[in-house]
Amino acid sequence: MNVYFAPLQGFTEAAYRNAHAEVFGGVDAYFSPFVRLEKGEARAKDIRDVAPENNSVPVLVPQVIAASADELRSVAALVRDMGYKWVDINLGCPFPIIVKKRKGCGLLPYPDDLRDMLRVVREMPDLSFSVKMRLGLNSENEAMDVLPLLNDLPLRQIVLHPRLGVQQYKGSVDLEAFGRFYSKCEKPLVYNGDIACADDAARVQRLFPDLSGLMLGRGLLANPGLANELKGGVPLTELERRKKELELHDVLFRTFSERLCGDVQVLAKIKPFWEYFMPYVEKNVRKKIVKASTVEKYKEAVRLL
Ligand SMILES: Cc1cc2nc3c(=O)[nH]c(=O)nc-3n(C[C@H](O)[C@H](O)[C@H](O)COP(=O)(O)O)c2cc1C
């Protein structure tokens, strides 16, 4: 069973992926947050994030997002020219600004446009393409409607997150709808969504024994040792877990401190991790960490852990 780290814009960028691989590992491939074109050009920030010289994880799969064949061709060529052989196409992003441009899950209600964009998969046989998608923007029928098209393409795998775009991240995952897709899907299929512990993973595997992998996002941010555990590693004791998580934090904090200029920038980058990280930390300590107004105060609060 493959275990993948989901792309999480603002969280799993190069600094975090490298730190996670160094301290924990257990992940078969890390997926980057999506690389996009703006006015025909890739953003410098996105390029830096996937540039091989900034990445030290064993396998990185750059994810791209596009609304047309031209866009997909350009952005896929960009990562191919960096030396990547596997590119993931985002068909799941639910943010209104993206959906309005018919990107992410905004393309799922338009099978003809999707077919047209995905011609590129055949045009670039030197690249292996996968897709990461939702059930649809408005209805699960959308995924079922585009499945014959996906089955016909030489895709490496499909990752399905069984929520609708309109749900964003709210409500529960729809395992029944996932099951309908699973039973008709002819490509290696990966489950993604709300896996927070080994029991959640076991339940999904019991329901869908032919899955080729699991992709973990927020659950892995909260419990960075979970991938190791799913790969058969011995679960960490509470003490070991806390120690390794602090090590991960310290590597990440050091990287941000070296790369960014000034307290404001460093704090703006590190604080969001506490939304998911070390969920067992006492409330008052967490509050001190996220309210810290200077790096000194922040470090003082972290020392309380
Ligand atoms: C803050 C945030 C950023 C995300 N960024 C991306 C992204 O760049 N590309 C993508 O395919 N999915 C993105 N996702 C979706 C996740 O990859 C994943 O599909 C979703 O969180 C469900 O999995 P989980 O419950 O294991 O977190 C993002 C989700 C969150 C919460």
Are 99 and 105 in contact, with CB atoms under 8 Å apart?
A: yes
In the chain, domain spans: 2-230, 238-303
Q: What is the pLDDT of residue 36?
A: 96
Residue with CA at minimum distance from ligand 1 atom 2:
8
Task: Please say whether the structural domain 2-230 has been given the CATH code 2.40.50.140.
Answer: no
**Of 8, 134, 170, 273, best ligand 1 pocket probe by most atoms within 8 Å of the beta carbon:** 8
- Model confidence pLDDT, tens digit, residues 224-262: 999 999 999 999 999 999 999 999 999 999 999 999 999
> pTM here?
0.97
Q: List, for the chain, all residue ranges whose pLDDT scores fall below the cut of 70.
A: none
Residue with CA at minimum distance from ligand 1 atom 6:
8
> Strand order of the sheet with strand 189-192?
60-61, 29-31, 2-5, 213-216, 189-192, 155-164, 128-136, 86-91, 63-64
Whole-number Å distance between alpha carbons of 139 and 101: 19
Whole-number Å distance between alpha carbons of 272 and 293: 14
How much distance in Å is there from the Cα of 169 to the middle of ligand 1?
A: 9
- Model confidence pLDDT, tens digit, residues 61-100: 999 999 999 999 999 999 999 999 999 999 999 999 999 9
Whole-number Å distance between alpha carbons of 255 and 297: 18
Q: What is the pLDDT of residue 31?
A: 98
Pocket of ligand 1 (CB under 6 A): 6-10, 33-34, 63, 90, 92-93, 132, 161, 169, 192-195, 216-219
Q: What is the pLDDT of residue 14?
A: 98
Whole-number Å distance between alpha carbons of 34 and 8: 9
Residue with CA at minimum distance from ligand 1 atom 12:
7
Q: Which two tokens stand for residue 290?
A: 């996220």
Which residues, at least 6 apart from 300, have a Cβ–Cβ distance to it below 8 Å?
Answer: 288, 292
How much distance in Å is there from the Cα of 296 to the middle of ligand 1?
A: 32
Residue with CA at minimum distance from ligand 1 atom 8:
33
Question: Burial of 207 by CB count in 10 Å (0-12 exposed, 13-18 middle, 19+ buried)?
Answer: middle
How much distance in Å is there from the Cα of 8 to the middle of ligand 1?
A: 5
Residue 178 identity: F
Q: Which two tokens stand for residue 45?
A: 């920030």
